[in-house]
Structure 1
Amino acid sequence: MSNSTMLKNKTLAIIATNGFEQSELLEPKRELEARGAKTQVISINGNDSIRGWDEKDWGDSVSVDKQIEDANLADYDGVILPGGQMNPDILRTDESVVAFIKSAAQLSKIKVIASICHGPWLLVEAGLVKGKQVTSYPSIRTDLKNAGANWQDNTVVTDGKLVTSRNPDDIPNFVDAISQKLTS
């Protein structure tokens, strides 16, 4: 199977809001689409577009496909949670987002819940890390450990449906792990 068709018929929900780490949304989105997946950016607060954070300043805007309250989990094969500091911190206070992630963990159709950088804060909020092997940006390691996770300093860590990575340098391994979960 060619790279451009390996994820054909797979649809991924990318949940983000203003302040997402630009590379952690755009690069996985682009690479997964190049492998044949469809992606939908899902946000909150009626945003038609959301703006990324590009290292030290505001970055590009990305169009929003759906609002969280309009997203039907059964339409997706996986969920991606980009990082950045602002994005997951805002999203983890939104009950609809947390409920969506909790439900994704229980729905057998969902093959992967992938989270990078500070994105695992959302996994903590959804109660999904207790007893799980995970990684993240080092500054939230204690938050994950306090929530019962077994934190590791690796480019990518998989445990059940969960795929976690540390930072933008890990994106190639992150995307490969997502692809493996979707095709296994």
Structure 2
Amino acid sequence: MTMATQLNGARVAFVATDGVEQVELDQPWAAVTDAGGQPELISLADGKIQAFNHLDHGDTRQVDRVLDDVDADDYVALVLPGGVANGDFVRVDHRAVSFVKDFFTAGKPVGVICHGGWVLIEAGVASGRTVTSWPSLQTDFRNAGAEWVDQELVVDENLVTSRKPDDLPAFTKAVVEKIAAAV
């Protein structure tokens, strides 16, 4: 099986909105595409979202589908990129929280980096898990019943977590491997 075909057209949901950390959206997206998957940008509203390079405006990205029109059954896996504003906006949207819960209920692969971890906490799926994230989320995770560790990559069953953009090579590799195992 070659890298270009190992995902065999698997649909992968990327949930993000304004404030997403651009590199944390773009690099996993490219890895899924390069491995033969079909990523889709799912957001809170139709149109475009504004990505950021830390605190500076980055590029905009076209939304493929809105949360009202998606079902976890339509996707093999889920990726939650970071960005402080993105993580905060997504975690307070009940549709996004429900969508995330559905992936966990179904036992599907979920990749989460940086501040995307807030959505796991809000969805009530962090308890009993070992995770990592941007360090400022460690108390939130511990209060939610998770074991937070400061590591480049943590794989806990079908959940893959990483801390920051520097961790993207390990994160994208692990996410693609988890998705390939589920195809």
Q: TM-score, normalised by structure 2?
A: 0.96
Q: Equivalent residue for 1:146?
A: 143
Question: Counting helix residues as a fraction of each chain, which structure ranks higher?
Answer: 2
Alpha-carbon deviations, 1:109-135, whole Å to 9, x = none?
A: x2x111100111000000111110100
Q: Equivalent residue for 1:164?
A: 161
Once superposed, what is the RMSD of the aligned Cα atoms? 1.0
Structure 1 stretches of 5 or more lacking a match? none
Amino acid at match of 1:138: P
Amino acid at match of 1:10: A
Deviation at 1:7, TM superposition (A): 1.2
Deviation at 1:166, TM superposition (A): 0.3
Task: Please state if 1:174 is matched with 2:183.
Answer: no
Q: Equivalent residue for 2:97?
A: 98
Q: Equivalent residue for 1:183?
A: 180
Amino acid at match of 1:183: A
Partner SS, residue 99 of structure 1: helix
Task: Please state if 1:8 is matched with 2:8.
Answer: yes
Q: TM-score, normalised by structure 1?
A: 0.95
Runs of 4+ in 1 over 4 A off after TM superposition: none
Q: Equivalent residue for 1:84?
A: 83
Structure 2 stretches of 5 or more lacking a match? none
Task: Please state if 1:19 is matched with 2:19.
Answer: yes
Identity %: 40
Partner SS, residue 136 of structure 1: coil
Number of residue pairs aligned between Structure 1 and Structure 2:
181
Amino acid at match of 1:57: D
Deviation at 1:180, TM superposition (A): 1.6
Q: Equivalent residue for 1:37?
A: 37
